[in-house]
Structure 1
Amino acid sequence: MGFLKTLKEKVFKQDLENYENAGMIFAVRLLFEDRCRMPMPDDMDKIMKKHLGSTTMLSYSDEMTGYMANDYKVHYEDDDDLPVQLLIMKCVEIDEPVMDGLEISQLWDCPDGEEILKTCKYQVVANDMLASGLDHKVRAEMLVNFIEALVEMYPTCKAVVVEKSKKMLTREDIVNCNIPMELKFIHYAVNVRSFNVDGTNDKIVDTIGMSTLYLPDLQYHFTGMDTKDVVNHAYNLLSYIYDNKNPIESGNTVDGLKQGLINMDVQWKVQYEESLIQPIREVLDVNMGEHAAGKR
């Protein structure tokens, strides 16, 4: 299997040399049509405290502003607990494409995403530091709060792109999001992708973004089932993994689908393996029984 056809009928070749780094720094891009200035420090302080609680401004300049998030601390054996740092860079012109063609084909949560990428010529990059040691739910909450603080600071922002997953949401989607906190990280930062395998009836649904929390992404290689039903199954399984800090082991089974609905009478076996689609990473592959395709 070497070529993938997206649901938008574009064909892409697999890149089996592109490997993902789990955890590490979480970065987002805020996209703008026009250049903007760094917000005033008093305004930034007010917004950061509103969303992240106790924060301390480490630096402020036209080039970069840094904060310590005092309510989010990581324990190190040879040192005291250290607060996570949050960095916001100046607005700069975009000099390289934000996404490649394959990534653009997967903007299911932002129907106008391709047009936004064409019209937005400037970006603000923001990221965390020293955060990989946080409990996964604590880091997820912090990142959600940071994203919401950023879109309040920058009212002319058109969209936010999470660097690891290339998930794009408009600023309005984030400002108006009223789903429970425990679902927001998956909504903001995890992309569920879908592909057809060129020249076959095979389909692939996979996810990308969970490795920020050192949790597994998912992969389904199947035939003869509605892609939308598989996508919904993926979101449900991601939520279970997140809520329970992933208790799933290779050889376990998960509830499958019958007539598009999750059904306990249908059991699908799962195992950890290398992903079929870039970036190459360990995924939890879901063997969909009679609907399974490919070799395992």
Structure 2
Amino acid sequence: MGLFRKNEKVLRQDLNQKGDHPGMVFMIHLLMEDKCDIPEKEFMTGIMQKHFGEVNCFLHSDEMAGFLPMKYSLHFEKDNADVPPQLMIMKCIDIEQPLLDDIAKSQLWDCQDSEQILNTCKYQVIATDMLAAGLDYKERAEMIVDYVEALVEMFPTCKAVLFENSKKMYTREAILNCSIPKESKFIYYAVNVRFFNIEGSEDMLVDTLGMSILFLPDLQYHFHGMDPNSVVNHAYNMLSYIFDNDNPIKSGDNIDGIKDGKMSQEIQWKVQYEDALIQPVRPVIDINMGEFASGSR
């Protein structure tokens, strides 16, 4: 481990800069078996108002629709203006190239029918947020959750939702029936916890993908000799802690580890910032699992 090691200051700068990776446009693919039209303006506006309150439909055509959720705003110093982010919905188009490579397909734990859906859905509606990177990270997460839930209402023939930034996928029904607390839904919907066996060894790797959209770090565990399900649960607990507390974790800090399959204060693991071992390259918090750790640090 540490093949691409940078110091913590540089990694935190990577997370805080408005570059190509952290804070990028959030992209959603709505997967369809049959081609559909852009819904009527009044229908779309009504659903957006249900989820966002006051909205301005500033664009509606056969090609795309655009909405301004007025409850959010970003201040632009140059123009001395407060501007809401833009939620853009494109027309339904053919899926001309595979949306996922083989590695991404192997990580679709949350969608049991993923192979069938990817084989039968030949069309997609792409939705994005624009000018949203400057929002407070919890506001952006809340906006994305409401946007996703509005979209699956807006497009009843949608079979599944694929999140481009994390390669995570859920069926439409799973999103419609999701009953977890709203403040937990961003991680549930949009952050993928991945698992890999390292070829030729007993080593395993669990990492997360999707937090950088909020300028927060992903996680990485390189280990052996432990039930990976316990590590996945630990990762979700850590993601929630990072999200709830605006990531207070620094290199050299200790965090609670795992004992008997559960988080325990009796076990302390040291963490440090690194670039991810597995693509895409991004800043992660690497968690040294003590006697279960693999690789060098």
Contact in 2 for aligned 1:20/1:281 (Cα 8 Å): no
Q: Secondary structure at the match of 2:76?
A: coil
Contact in 2 for aligned 1:27/1:162 (Cα 8 Å): yes
State the alpha-carbon separation in 2 of the partners of residues 206 and 114 from structure 1: 22
State the alpha-carbon separation in 2 of the partners of residues 54 and 48 from structure 1: 8
| Cα displacement string for residues 141-161 of structure 1 (whole angstroms, at most 9, x for unaligned residues) | 000000000000000100000
- Could you tell me which residue of structure 2 aligns to residue 4 of structure 1? none
Contact in 2 for aligned 1:233/1:262 (Cα 8 Å): yes
- Could you tell me which residue of structure 1 aligns to residue 224 of structure 2? 223
Question: Are 2:92 and 1:116 equivalent residues in the alignment?
Answer: no
Structure 2 residue ranges without an equivalent (≥5): 2-18
Question: Are 2:123 and 1:96 equivalent residues in the alignment?
Answer: no
| Cα displacement string for residues 80-130 of structure 1 (whole angstroms, at most 9, x for unaligned residues) | 111010000000110011100000000000011111100000000000000
State the alpha-carbon separation in 2 of the partners of residues 112 and 198 from structure 1: 27
What stretches of structure 1 move > 3 A for 4+ residues in a row?
none
- Could you tell me which residue of structure 1 aligns to residue 15 of structure 2? none
Contact in 2 for aligned 1:256/1:268 (Cα 8 Å): yes
Which residue identity lines up with residue 205 of structure 2 in the other structure?
Answer: I
State the alpha-carbon separation in 2 of the partners of residues 263 and 287 from structure 1: 15
- Could you tell me which residue of structure 2 aligns to residue 24 of structure 1? 24
- Could you tell me which residue of structure 2 aligns to residue 8 of structure 1? none
- Could you tell me which residue of structure 2 aligns to residue 58 of structure 1? 58
State the alpha-carbon separation in 2 of the partners of residues 72 and 104 from structure 1: 35
- Aligned ranges for residues 144-223 of structure 1 at < 5 Å? 144-223=145-224
State the alpha-carbon separation in 2 of the partners of residues 108 and 169 from structure 1: 9
| Cα displacement string for residues 45-71 of structure 1 (whole angstroms, at most 9, x for unaligned residues) | 100000111110011111010111111
Contact in 2 for aligned 1:20/1:279 (Cα 8 Å): no
State the alpha-carbon separation in 1 of the partners of residues 53 and 162 from structure 2: 24
Contact in 2 for aligned 1:221/1:294 (Cα 8 Å): yes
Q: TM-score normalized by structure 2?
A: 0.93
State the alpha-carbon separation in 1 of the partners of residues 204 and 189 from structure 2: 25
Q: Secondary structure at the match of 1:98?
A: coil
% same residue? 59
Question: Are 2:48 and 1:48 equivalent residues in the alignment?
Answer: yes
Give the deviation of 1:76 after TM superposition: 2.1
- Could you tell me which residue of structure 2 aligns to residue 7 of structure 1? none
